[in-house]
Amino acid sequence: MSKSVYRVAQDHIDAANADLAPPLERDYTHLGEQLDRRGVDIDRVRERVGRFAVALPTWGVGTGGTRFARFPMDGEPRSVLEKIADCGTIHQLVRATPTISPHFPWDRVSDIDDLKQAAAAEGLGFDAVNSNTFQDQAGQPLSYKFGSLTHTDPDVRAQAVAHNIECIETGRALGSKALTVWVGDGTNFPGQQPFIESLERYLDSMAKVYAALPDDWRVFLEHKHYEPAFYSTVIADWGTNYLCARELGPKAHCLVDLGHHAPNTNIEMIVARLIQFEKLGGFHFNDSKYGDDDLDSGAIDPFQLFLVMNELADAEDQGRSGFDPAYMLDQSHNVTDPIESLMLSAMEVQHAYARALLVDRPALRAAQQNNDALLANRILKSAYETNVAPITATLRLRKGAAIDPLAAYRQSGYRKAKAAERPSAGGPSAGIV
Ligand code: RM4
Ligand code: MN
Ligand code: MN
């Protein structure tokens, strides 16, 4: 199985770091002095950020597309094993993405050990496994055209349930501890389906999936405002999601994908609500302007990303019971090299977390108590405005990753080497992923 594949050499990373390390040290010292004046110990922040991790979506390393077109790039992965190699490269250069979140049946292999070995060779573990009942697979007996877990036909529902249970079994073999279920089920026409019965069917199907969860597993329910259904979606919003998670039981939690809300929704408040009622299970980071755009995290609205992270860091500071969300990226890279986007997105999420740790919580609480709106906002802003890049760069340097991952990656010639190793398989010309 092993033929020679190009890897970024540690020497290359070290050489790229050599010139950047001395000025970084000065920047870190200077930031440390600034934070010290604010009563913040930079080394403690660095240690906490060092423990922060975000999972990579295996489906994110292939070139994405829209429903109109996909523009494949040279050297993109043609199999899940090649996807894992690309995820390994991201982790090697950034050291903030130690796990991958696989998607089935996209990532199905004949021998599950191949997946385990490929991930282990890259030093990667497995985060939540994702099921897929939003499209038909070759040879599938029954179609999901009119829904899956909520379909009117019990046989279709049974098939969708069986697929989710198979995902749990596969995930178990991989060492995963959670299943993420996103269904696209919904309608395009008023009157097409009754709202109440559709949700009853969902709950009935999900109860069967839930019953198959091992004791130490969780299931993450992912809502989405619209698309592929355009009139109504069964699990359209966080309220429906919460109700279903509560109905199903303590192992069921809500997953918030940043792109799955109506425009202008106050997502950070949703996050706070789910934390308060101990139902926040997972996160899909990305950014958007209009819908489920799946753009790079922080590309459009980095302040919103910070405000979301502020709620998460606050919950962590408070040690709130039931708070243990799984963080993942979920993006589609249509016009960039996915490796570059995912590296920068992981760093963006890390930066938002680091900034959230800088919020002066006692001062913020006092300002809130005194109804000093301006000061409260100022306290958040001063954390947000802090350039925390020297903290994450120092972490990367100490972990043997690249101070400047983008430059190191581009100089490494990785994509060019992959283009030679991976002649185009002529993938689909359209599609979300
Ligand atoms: C969906 C949703 C899911 C992801 C698929 C590929 O819009 O975000 O999390 O699994 O896309
Ligand atoms: Mn998602
Ligand atoms: Mn999505």
What is the per-residue DSSP string for 12-48? Answer: HHHHHHHHHHHHHHHHHHHHHHHHHHTT--HHHHHHH
Residue bearing the CA closest to ligand 1, atom 7: 292
How many other β-carbons are positioned within 10 Å of the β-carbon of residue 315? 21
* DSSP code for 221: E
Residue 255 in contact with residue 247, Cβ under 8 Å?
no
Average of pLDDT values for 277-284?
97
- Does the Cβ of 285 fall within 6 Å of ligand 1? no
Ligand approaching nearest to the C-alpha of 101 = 1
- Tell me whether residue 420 is exposed, middle or buried, using C-beta atoms within 10 angstroms of its C-beta: 0 to 12, 13 to 18, 19 or more: exposed
Whether residue 390 has a cis bond before it, omega within 30° of 0:
no
Residue 88 neighbours by CB under 8 Å, 6+ apart: 121, 122, 123, 124
Can you tell me which residue has the tokens 């007996």? 141
Whether residue 105 has a cis bond before it, omega within 30° of 0:
yes
**Closest-CA residue to 337 (of 22, 36, 76, 38):** 76
315 C-alpha to ligand 1 centroid (Å): 26
Question: Of the residues 67, 101, 257, which should be mutated to test ligand 1's pocket, given the most ligand atoms within 8 Å of the CB?
Answer: 257
How far is the C-alpha of 359 from the C-alpha of 31, rounded, in Å?
A: 15
Ligand approaching nearest to the C-alpha of 284 = 2
Which residues are near ligand 3, the ion (C-beta closer than 5 Å)?
292
Ligand approaching nearest to the C-alpha of 180 = 1
Q: How far is CA 6 from CA 120, 253, 342, in A?
A: 17, 40, 19
The CA-based angle 1-97-313, given to 5 degrees, is 160
Residue 138 has pLDDT above 70, yes or no: yes
* Interval 211-254: pLDDT, tens: 999 999 999 999 999 999 999 999 999 999 999 999 999 999 99
* Band of pLDDT at residue 134, cut at 50, 70 and 90: very high
- Does the Cβ of 99 fall within 6 Å of ligand 1? no
* Interval 170-211: pLDDT, tens: 999 999 999 999 999 999 999 999 999 999 999 999 999 999
Residue 56 in contact with residue 126, Cβ under 8 Å?
no
End-to-end CA distance of the chain: 27
* Interval 37-88: pLDDT, tens: 999 999 999 999 999 999 999 999 999 999 899 999 999 999 999 999 999 9
Question: Of the residues 134, 144, 182, which should be mutated to test ligand 1's pocket, given the most ligand atoms within 8 Å of the CB?
Answer: 182
* Band of pLDDT at residue 1, cut at 50, 70 and 90: very low
Residue 428 has pLDDT above 70, yes or no: no
% of the chain residues with pLDDT over 70: 97
Question: Of the residues 58, 222, 333, which should be mutated to test ligand 1's pocket, given the most ligand atoms within 8 Å of the CB?
Answer: 222
183 C-alpha to ligand 3 centroid (Å): 11
- Does the Cβ of 386 fall within 6 Å of ligand 1? no
How far is the C-alpha of 6 from the C-alpha of 11, rounded, in Å?
A: 14
Residue bearing the CA closest to ligand 1, atom 5: 182
Q: What are phi and psi of 252, to 5 degrees?
A: -95, 130
* Interval 398-424: pLDDT, tens: 999 999 999 999 999 999 999 999 998
How far is the C-alpha of 298 from the C-alpha of 351, rounded, in Å?
A: 10
Residue 255 has pLDDT above 80, yes or no: yes
Q: Which two tokens stand for residue 407?
A: 């430059």
Backbone torsion region of residue 391, taken as left when φ is above 0, otherwise alpha when ψ lies between -120 and 50, otherwise beta: alpha
259 C-alpha to ligand 3 centroid (Å): 6
- What is the model's pLDDT at position 432? 61
Residues recorded for the chain = 433
256 C-alpha to ligand 3 centroid (Å): 10
Could you give the count of Cα atoms lying within 13 Å of 236 in the half-sphere of its Cβ? 16
How far is the C-alpha of 415 from the C-alpha of 333, rounded, in Å?
A: 15
- Does the Cβ of 330 fall within 6 Å of ligand 1? yes
- What is the model's pLDDT at position 4? 78
- Does the Cβ of 86 fall within 6 Å of ligand 1? no
How far is the C-alpha of 78 from the C-alpha of 101, rounded, in Å?
A: 17
* Band of pLDDT at residue 2, cut at 50, 70 and 90: very low
- What is the model's pLDDT at position 424? 80
Average of pLDDT values for 20-36?
98
282 membership: H or E segment, kind and range: strand 280-285
Q: Which amino acid is at 42?
A: I
% of the chain residues with pLDDT over 90: 96
Give alpha helix (H) positions in 175-265.
195-211, 238-248
**For strand 99-101 and strand 125-126, is the pairing parallel, antiparallel, or unpaired?**
parallel
Ligand approaching nearest to the C-alpha of 433 = 1
Alpha-carbon dihedral sign for residues 426, 427, 428, 431: negative
- Does the Cβ of 261 fall within 6 Å of ligand 1? no
Strands in 102-184 per DSSP E? 125-126, 129-130, 178-182
103 C-alpha to ligand 3 centroid (Å): 13
**pTM given for the model:** 0.97
Can you tell me which residue has the tokens 């991201």? 90
- Does the Cβ of 222 fall within 6 Å of ligand 1? yes
430 C-alpha to ligand 1 centroid (Å): 16
DSSP three-state, residue 407: helix
